[in-house]
Amino acid sequence: MRSADDRKIVLILRESRLDELIARFNTIQQAQFYVEHLGADFGDYLEERRQYHAALHEAETALRQFGRVQRLDRKYLGNFIFAADDIIVVLGQDGLVANTLKYLDGQHVLGVNPDPKRWDGVLLPFRPSDLKRVMPEEIAFRRPVKRVTMAKASLNTGGVLYAVNDLFIGAKSHVSARYLLKLGKVEEHQSSSGVIVSTGMGSTGWMKSLYAGWAGAAATLGVKPPQQALDAHFPWDAESLHYFVREPFPSRTTGTSLVVGRISNEAPLTIVSEMPENGVIFSDGIEADFLEFSAGTRATIGIAERQGLLVS
């Protein structure tokens, strides 16, 4: 049994809205002027920050009983090297859990909700007060774990990007993306506003809104939408991904027959860029962490070789 001095706990956190405004405007007074000038409630910003810092203090105090605690801000996730036996605790919104999972390889993640009145916390089953009870069970490997299938984009240039919720493949700005899409033995040149690839966890997010638009348009036109358009959700640990082409444009050289489908290990999705510049692939809504996807670059989209592991 490892001692507390040998055990490392990485506490993932993020700045509050007010902290970000203070960094932008230098002082809390200037941040207050900015918020109130726009007619917003500055008191809500103060309360969110107060509650988060209180939860951070409670969580860190509890965790220090079980190991060395290292704080890590979300902006450093992409550059941080996690040890195989690190215990990861995320204090924040659901999105912070997803952002953390894609940088891990086998480590368990405990999601802690700092403000249950503010955040739904689908991926945050614990509160700071639960940590004294949960941590001994997790250290002894007695806590149940939910497995999360992840997506992976691999480029012929050597670039790799993982996604817990979804991948976006398209143009950096609001222009049409042009590419060759191939699924199995069928391929098609397309022009669209981009391709979304969703995991089971992400199927209740961006993908859900795409299917909702599909179903709504069908209903407006008096057409019964397919069942898939009514329920886009599928299990977190499913051995498949779903893709959806946004706003495909039919023309003499581009088609619209491969706009929705399922991706598996046996049938990965291949996309070859036909954009001379500004083609990108990013994941989980983080546009700053992207792969360049310009003309000639081939992306193979499939199920990642690793899974996210959420303690429940």
Two structure tokens written together for 54:
């209180």
How confident is the model over 5-15, as pLDDT tens digits? 678 999 999 99
**Sole residue written with tokens 């444009």:** 249
Two structure tokens written together for 298:
């081939």
Domain boundaries, the chain: 8-143, 150-305
* Rounded Cα–Cα distance for residues 236 and 279 (Å): 29
Of the pLDDT bands very low, low, confident and very high (cuts 50, 70, 90), residue 302 is very high
The CATH architecture assigned to 150-305 reads: Sandwich (2.60)
Rg (CA), the chain: 22
Two structure tokens written together for 33:
């002027």
Q: Residues 6 or more apart from 250 whose CB is under 8 A from it?
A: 256
What fold characterizes domain 8-143? Rossmann fold (3.40.50)
How confident is the model over 139-195, as pLDDT tens digits? 999 999 999 999 999 999 999 999 999 999 999 988 899 999 999 889 999 999 999
Q: Is the pLDDT of residue 232 over 80?
A: no
Residue type, 178: R
Q: What is the mean pLDDT of residues 41-45?
A: 92
Give, in degrees to the nearest 5, the angle at Cα 291 between 287 and 295: 120
How confident is the model over 239-283, as pLDDT tens digits? 999 999 999 999 999 999 999 999 998 889 999 999 999 999 999
**Structural element, H or E, at residue 290:** strand 286-292
pLDDT of residue 100: 94
How confident is the model over 19-34, as pLDDT tens digits? 999 999 999 999 999 9
Q: Do domains 8-143 and 150-305 have the same CATH topology?
A: no
Phi, psi dihedrals of residue 136, rounded to the nearest 5°: -60, -35
How confident is the model over 76-124, as pLDDT tens digits? 998 899 999 999 999 999 889 988 998 999 999 999 999 999 988 889 9
pLDDT of residue 2: 59
